Structures are given as C-alpha cells and as structure tokens.
C-alpha cells in the first residue's frame, strides 16, 4: 500500500538563460509545494525539462541530469561502542553539527563518473558534502568514521540514498524521477535541486523548495507531545485508564 503520493508539478516558467546553450527548467510558482505524508511514508514524483536556445547539436557530448532532495539539517550525536569488561558499552561520542535528516540523489548515470571532485564540492553534491562539520575531539583521532557512520546508518533506514540511473529522460528533453520518503521523516522545508551535466561539468542548475508535512493522528500526537507535553502526558494517562476500564467492562458484560 503506497498511499499519499503526490506529483510535484513544476510550472514551466522561464529561467534566465545562462551562458550555456542548454538550461534546466526548474521554474516554480511562487507558492511552495506542500507534500503531505501519512504513516506509510510518501512518494514524490519530480519532473522537469531541458530548455534549448537553439536546435540540439547532434555531435555534442551526452547530457546527464542529477536531482537531489535534501531535508532540514540537524545536528546529531554519534556514539561508538567498545568492549569494556566483556560488555559492549558506548565509549566515544562525536557531534556532527550538520547532517540532513533526509538526502536522496538520483542520476541518469553513475554519480562517481559523472562529476569531478571539484564540481561535487562546488555544488555540494554527495554524502561527504552533506554530512559536515564533524566535531573535533581531543582523544578520538578517527572522527571521520563517525561522519561515515551517519551516512551508513541513515542509508539503512532509507533516509539517505544514491540511486544511479533513477532519472529517466524522454526525447532528450523531459526528465523525471521518483523519490520515496520514509514514514519517520522530519517535517520542514525540503530542497529539490537539479543539475544538468555535460563533460563532467554542471552547465545549468536550479532549485525548488518543498514543504513536507505529515498528516493524520500520528502527526497530531507527535506535535502535541512536543508542544504541549503536560497535556499530552495527562491525555496519555486518561486514554490508558479509559481503555483499561472499557476493555475489562466489556469482558464482564460478555461473561454474563
């Protein structure tokens, strides 16, 4: 069951043409696009177009497209276990100050061979660029492995992904990609970025914001627990008392 999927329509608004002959059209209307996700997670379907100033040159190197979606950035504490007295104990902790809560990269061909290291750095594409500012530590020398752990763990949870070949291009002009958002996503403003690549260089790029909100009872409960914790606590107790009493009373009735 994959409910709550919403197509993100990109209005084809003209973007100021760059020096390049081809530009990626990522124009958006003024309003942000709201994506609502239920507890099954959600899917976003993103598409756009390549805008050409003149006719396509048949002898030109092939075009590639990269689409990234990045969630709100938060700090995270990474802990590492070590064996102490035969038991595995959290011993080292390193704070990573910037790590997106969600980061997915979709491309037309393998990302590794698509861009040079310099271009990846310039446009902040890739996991190494996303998980940043790994805090220093006086005694821990391998702090970078803590940053790698963030990527590894979040990849396993479906929060981070690099999907080579997930962007499909039709007629050399229209492109599209599907992104799956897990149920435990963080609400907030997500950024979708588009990069048009030729000869290992980004020739055009664009970005659009997506407001991601959760829906339903689960979201209401979560927000209440964070904004009105006392009310939430009292409600939790009352709910439990009512449920316990009702269930027992129902059984007493059934027994008669």
Partner 1 sequence: MQIYLPIAEVSVDGLLLFGIGSMVGLLSGMFGVGGGFILTPLLFFIGIPPAVAVASAANQIAGSSFSAFLAHMRKKTVDFRMGVVLLAGGFIGSAVGVQIFTILRRNGQFELTVSLLYVVMLGTIGALMLIEGMRALRRRNDPNALLVPRKRHTWAHGLPLKVRFRTSQLYVSAIPPFVIGALVGVLAAVMGVGGGFIMVPAMIYLIGMPTKVVIGTSVFQFLFVTAFTTILHSVQSQTVDALLALILLIGGVIGAQIGVVVGNRLRAEQLRILLALLVLGVCLKLFADLVIKPAELYSLAAS
For residue 81, state whether it binds partner 1 (rule: CB under 8 A). yes
CB 167 within 8 A of CB 177: yes
For residue 233, state whether it binds partner 1 (rule: CB under 8 A). yes
Site for partner 1 in 59-78 (CB under 8 A): 74-78
Least distance to partner 1 from the beta carbon of 199, Å?
Answer: 38
Site track for partner 1 across 166-205, x = CB under 8 A? -----------------xx---------------------
Least distance to partner 1 from the beta carbon of 24, Å?
Answer: 34
For residue 221, state whether it binds partner 1 (rule: CB under 8 A). yes
For residue 222, state whether it binds partner 1 (rule: CB under 8 A). yes
Site for partner 1 in 28-57 (CB under 8 A): 39-40
Least distance to partner 1 from the beta carbon of 8, Å?
Answer: 23
Least distance to partner 1 from the beta carbon of 198, Å?
Answer: 38
HEC string of the chain equals CCCCEEEECCCCCCCCCCCCCEEEECCCCCCCEEEEEECCEEEEEEEEEEEECCCCCCCCCCCEEEEEEECCEEEEEEEEEEEECCEEEEEEEEEEEEEECCEEEEECCCHHHHCCHHHHHHCCCCHHHHCEEECCCCCCCCCHHHHHHHHHHHHHCCCEEEECCCCEEECCCEEEEEEEECCCCCCEEEEEEEEEEECCEEEEEEEEEEEEEECHHHHHHHHHHHHCHHHHHHHHHHHHHHHHHHHHHHHHHHHC
Tokens of 78: 């990474």
Select 77 or 124, whichever has its Cβ closest to partner 1: 77
> Which among 48-56, 62-70, 197-205, 232-240 is the span making contact with partner 1, rule CB under 8 A?
232-240
Q: Which residues bind partner 1 (CB under 8 A)?
A: 39-40, 74-83, 86-90, 93, 95, 145-146, 149-150, 152-154, 183-184, 217-219, 221-222, 225-226, 229-230, 232-237, 239-241, 243-245, 247-249, 251
């Amino acid at each position: 069951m994959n409910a709550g999927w919403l197509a993100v329509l990109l209005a084809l608004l003209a973007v100021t043409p760059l020096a390049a002959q081809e530009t990626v059209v990522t124009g958006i209307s003024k309003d942000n696009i709201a994506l609502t996700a239920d507890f099954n997670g959600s899917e976003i379907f993103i598409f756009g177009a390549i805008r050409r100033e003149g006719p396509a040159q048949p002898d030109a190197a092939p075009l590639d497209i990269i689409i990234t979606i990045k969630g709100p950035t938060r700090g995270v504490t990474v802990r590492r276990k070590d064996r102490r007295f035969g038991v595995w104990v959290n011993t080292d902790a390193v704070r990573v100050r910037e790590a997106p809560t969600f980061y997915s990269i979709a491309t037309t061909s393998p990302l590794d061979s698509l861009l040079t290291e310099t271009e990846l750095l310039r446009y902040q594409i890739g996991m190494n660029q996303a998980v940043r500012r790994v805090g220093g530590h006086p005694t821990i020398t391998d702090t970078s492995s803590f940053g790698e752990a963030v990527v590894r763990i979040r990849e396993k949870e479906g929060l981070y992904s690099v999907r080579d070949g997930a962007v499909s291009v039709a007629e050399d002009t229209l492109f599209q990609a599907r992104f799956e958002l897990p149920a435990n996503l963080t609400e907030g403003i997500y950024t979708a970025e588009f990069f048009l690549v030729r000869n290992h260089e980004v020739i055009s790029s664009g970005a659009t914001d997506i407001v991601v909100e959760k829906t339903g009872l689960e979201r209401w409960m979560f927000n209440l627990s964070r904004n009105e914790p006392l009310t939430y606590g009292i409600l939790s107790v009352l709910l439990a008392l009512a449920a316990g009493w009702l269930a027992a009373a129902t059984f007493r009735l059934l027994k008669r």
